[in-house]
Chains A and B, each alone.
Chain A
Amino acid sequence: MCNEAATERKGGIYIHTPFCVQKCLYCDFYSTTNLSLTHDFLSALKTEIKIRKSAFQEFDTIYIGGGTPSVMPPEQTEDLFETIYKNFSIVPDAEITIEVNPGTVDLPALKRYRKIGINRLSIGVQSFSEKNLRFLGRIHSAPDALKTVQEARNADFKNISLDLIYGLPGQTLKSWEADLVKALEFAPEHLSCYMLTYEPDTPLTSALNKKHFSPLEEKKTGELFMATRAFLARNEYLQYEISSYSLRGIFPSMHNRKYWSFHPYTGFGPSAHSFSGSIRSWNHRSVTLYIEDLKKDQLPVENKEVLNREQKIIEAIYLGLRQTDGIDLKNFQTNFNRRFEEMFEDVVALLKNKKYLEIDQGRCFLSPQGMLFLDSIAGMFSGTDFYLK
């Protein structure tokens, strides 16, 4: 959270693979379906890695995300890792994750991933229901999903995370639980359960606006959220972030935690963000611009921002409250020179009174009910005039 801490902390590497076979209807991540660019992208990426080469910083997580990293041929991924290892110092027990999507990956590829040191798989399952997969516009079928998860185990991955989406139109508690039950059959070490969100400028949102379907009622989505927590807790999956659950609490995503805890990270590839503790910079959200810049040996940075105190406070709260651990109050005071409870007296009192927020053992965190209102609650905090104090 503060600058000194950031430098002594180990960093994370994020690589954004900007390709997908087909755009899913709800997706607003940056990716293109023009797969003919993978080769040029890889050269550009390698150039970026060389430019950003660092002799001092140690890294303890690598995350290959996207897009769909598994559309890159395995030899290209091997090539990529060779470059990463050559230019950065990666600690021996680093968490190294790759995202794969069912229908784009097979057993031989998974084995090759394992061989180059990748030790964690994040599988974009989303649902085990055909109907849901079609609604979301995914390319894979339910059997594809099952096959990929099975193959991941066969390839000896001991840390697997499954992505699931809930809150789809017409979804019932029963049908959602069926997805969860199916997922648990594989005893994944980690689960990410996302509420479906309607992002601007996506086909799904425009269909919604045209009233082609009616979204699941808020009340029901809220119930699903609460049910997810309870169901997973019964099965030894503990929530540690609003949509992240880890088996017996021992397999949280070390990489994602960096985002929520102000740790430094370096992002490569189009649209990737880097963070140094107070400066955040981001690359072009376009493969072609990205490649163009790197052909000229130029960093493909579109812009950067230096966070001021007020912005750091807003982020510390928004990100802190996402996590079940909440905001570390001592840390907050060290970083911002004021007691949190004092700075936000009115809001804290109101939220405590409504049982949305608790303060206990030096931490301020949301109750499960409060988590349902994370955005509004963050809005209440940032909407007060704390920055004047």
Chain B
Amino acid sequence: MLNIRNFSIIAHIDHGKSTLSDRLIQHTNIVSERDFKDQILDSMDIERERGITIKSQSVCLPYKARDGKLYSLNLIDTPGHVDFTYEVSRALASCEGAFLLVDASQGVEAQTLANLYLALEHDLEIIPVINKIDLPSADIEWVKSQIEKDLGLDPESAILTSAKEGKGIEDVLERAVTLLPPPEGDPEAPFKALIFDSHYDAYRGTVVHVRVFDGRIKAGDTILFMSNNAAYKVEEVGVFQIIREPRKNLSAGEVGYIIAGIKTVSDTSCGDTVTLKQNPCEKPMAGFKEAKPVVFSSIYPVASDGYPELTLALEKLKLNDASLIYEKDSSVALGFGFRCGFLGLLHLEVVQERLEREYDLSLIITAPSVQYEIGLSDGNVIMIDNPAMYPDPAGIEFTREPFIRASIIVPDRYMGTVMTLCMDRRGLNKTYQYLTNNRLEMIFELPLAEIVYDFYDKLKSVTQGYGSFDYDLLDHRETDLVKLDILINGDRVDALSQLVHKDRAVERARLACDRLRDEIPRQMFKIAIQGAIGSKIISRKTISAYRKDVTAKCYGGDISRKRKLLEKQKKGKKRMKMVGQVMIPQSAFLSVLKTDD
């Protein structure tokens, strides 16, 4: 155990965690030159396309240190985006140390701080790393002073790296060996391991990702999940080395996986403790704090009979995304689906894309909402995140909406534009302070509802990419809420309703009608789109009917071509759902929130 080191690489988004991981992996030669690709740990298509890490990924590196001994370094690359903080916190639970990366030209940003706090919460040994020192705009001294002042870490201990050019890589490995503590735990004690992740393999069932704290495990043992007493016979244990690398056993201090023919998806849950049936440990480990979703939205299958498939897909996805929560929901327009909670908008998009890609589903996502507190005249207070559940306004005493404390770090020349943006969003400016010469931290209190959709994109654009943003939930505050309904050809489409601030209702209604007019293709008859509060119409748009199709000849060969066109329409993103008498494309449901650019 003395030669094991478990550590995460944490940082603000894009500071180079995955690239640094690449270099460490290459240094230890576990992947052949031929099989190597950049950001190799970002293995999902969606990660590669977007160039960001979404899942924490562990990899076990054999490293022969300068002291001549062979070490087993278990590295976990983590995501930097706020929406995936839950991934970071779970990764940290299996580590003794963390490398905190700071981009030498960007300096400390919002998620640098947030991730530092997470690591401190877990009592980890933290080693600062200044990365991207190759950049002409790198300012090492400036970053060092931030490390000292903003992070409270020893700037002299910072390792200087260029992940891109492979500089400082061995320093990172050596410091891991010399500065980070080995794991504690007793290999002879009853087996005890924490599930921090898992995924479903079509052939082998659930693959459980664990950090072993005590004891050891091997194929043939019978494991027990402590939350539900489900028992399975272990088929294989091993470690992750890009691919699964089977081992004879896993023992205290190690991070790896267990395969035990687990076909009942719901048996495995993140944060559960695994022990052995023969000689179980006394009590389960603390597990993880529940992820706290901030936005809620409904997911429906486009196919009218797609509900069972969606159910199964969500169960399996939940294995690999512990932050996802959901419950059954139904809509008059769209049938059965699920109300889901997400950690943010990017998280929502990722879930949608993963369900569509990994489970080959075609989905409709409704406009996201936050969770409101509603006080009823009978004295009850209820929490509502679904417009469909909004009670009769006559019976409402008060409504409260969630507020956040937003920390925005920007060069001071953007102070004015950021101020305008936040004020537009019903924000209250609390304070600001200079972090360094010309870098400013601005603190606002903002309604969460105002930031869920596109705040981050807007901030990026008004600050030309220099603004970084982080937030904490504060509390619920009194507000004036109304339910905005959308009627299409006179029929209220429940899946298009939104809860909005009263002062915003007219603007929101106009926006929703505009978006729907753009999204819904012209059809054979006129389509009226209306925004209404109660029975009062507050905005209206129409889509004129079109007059004819261009119908071409159709002979032998054309028949296949025509059919393929029809088939394609059905598969693409523009797949239509018939709601009442109108065909509405999938994408329309989410579009109602999109603001003007």
Contact = CB atoms under 8 A, between A and B. Distances in A.
Contact of B525 (A315, A354, A378): A354
Interface string A244-264: 000000000000100110000
Contacts of B567: 311, 314, 382
Given A260-B554, A383-B576, A383-B583, A318 B566 contact: yes
Contact of A382 (B546, B557, B560, B566): B566
B578 A376 contact: no
Interface string A376-387: 111110111100
A342 interface: no
B416 interface: no
Nearest to A194: B553
Given A315-B559, A385-B303, A385-B304, A219 B547 contact: yes
Contacts of A8: none
Interface in A353-389: 353-354, 356, 371-380, 382-385, 388-389
Interface of A: 14, 65, 194-195, 197-199, 217-219, 221-222, 225, 242-243, 256, 259-260, 265, 267, 271-275, 280, 282, 305, 311, 314-315, 318-319, 322, 346-347, 350, 353-354, 356, 371-380, 382-385, 388-389
Given A382-B570, A388-B303, A319 B549 contact: no
10 contacts: A65-B555, A199-B552, A243-B551, A259-B554, A259-B555, A265-B556, A318-B559, A353-B581, A373-B549, A376-B523
A265 B556 CA distance: 8
Given A347-B578, A373-B548, A376-B549, A273 B560 contact: yes
Contacts of B552: 194-195, 197, 199
A376 B524 CA distance: 8
Interface residues of B, number: 32
Given A242-B551, A314-B563, A382-B567, A267 B524 contact: no
Given A273-B556, A383-B575, A374 B551 contact: yes
B424 interface: no
Nearest first, the 3 closest Cβ-Cβ pairs linking A and B are: A222-B548, A375-B549, A218-B547
Contacts of B286: none
Contacts of B548: 218-219, 221-222, 225, 372-373
A218 B555 contact: no
Contacts of B524: 354, 356, 373, 376-377
A315 B559 CA distance: 8
A64 to B, nearest CB: 13
A382 B553 contact: no
Given A259-B554, A382-B566, A280 B559 contact: yes
B551 A195 contact: yes
A267 B556 contact: yes
A378 B547 contact: no
A346 B560 contact: no
A194 B549 CA distance: 13
Interface string B523-555: 111000000000000000000001111111111
Interface in B271-302: 302
A378 B566 contact: yes
B569 interface: yes
A350 B560 CA distance: 27
A384 B547 contact: no
A4 B417 CA distance: 74
A346 B552 CA distance: 27
A219 B545 CA distance: 10
Contacts of A319: 554, 559
Contact of A379 (B302, B553, B559, B569): B569
Contact of B547 (A197, A282, A315, A372): A372
B580 to A, nearest CB: 9
B562 interface: yes
Given A65-B555, A388-B304, 7 more contacts: A194-B553, A267-B556, A280-B559, A280-B560, A315-B563, A373-B549, A375-B551
Nearest to A244: B553
B578 A346 contact: yes
Interface string B456-472: 00000000000000000
Contacts of A385: 302-305
Q: Most chain-A CB neighbours within 10 Å: which of B551, B554, B560?
A: B551
A318 B563 contact: yes
Contacts of A384: 578
B545 to A, nearest CB: 10
Among B305, B549, B556, B567, chain A packs the most CB atoms within 10 A around the CB of: B556
B309 to A, nearest CB: 10
A259 B559 contact: yes
A9 B473 CA distance: 73
Nearest to A258: B556
Nearest to A389: B305
Contacts of A350: 578, 581
B207 to A, nearest CB: 31
A375 B302 CA distance: 21
Contacts of A225: 548
A374 B549 contact: yes
A377 B549 CA distance: 10
A154 to B, nearest CB: 29
A94 B556 CA distance: 19
Contacts of A273: 556-557, 559-560
Contact of B560 (A305, A354, A379): A305
A188 to B, nearest CB: 18
A170 B417 CA distance: 52
A14 B549 CA distance: 28
Contacts of B562: 318
A388 B362 CA distance: 14
B453 to A, nearest CB: 29
Contacts of B583: 380, 383
Contacts of B569: 379, 382-383
B570 A259 contact: no
B583 to A, nearest CB: 7
A265 B559 CA distance: 13
A383 B568 CA distance: 10
Interface string B576-594: 1010010100000000000
B572 to A, nearest CB: 11
Contacts of B553: 194, 197, 243
B551 A272 contact: no
A272 B570 contact: no
B544 to A, nearest CB: 11
Given A315-B563, A319-B559, A222 B547 contact: yes
Contacts of A259: 554-556, 559
B146 to A, nearest CB: 54
B15 to A, nearest CB: 45
Interface string B301-315: 011110000000000
Contacts of A388: 303-305
A378 B305 CA distance: 21
B566 A275 contact: no
Contacts of B575: 383
Contacts of B578: 346-347, 350, 380, 383-384
A272 B556 contact: yes
Q: Which of A259, A346, A347 has the most CB of B within 10 A?
A: A259
Interface in B320-344: none
Nearest to A354: B525
A372 to B, nearest CB: 4
Contacts of B550: 195, 197-198, 221, 375
A201 B419 CA distance: 51
Contacts of A218: 546-548
Contacts of A219: 547-548
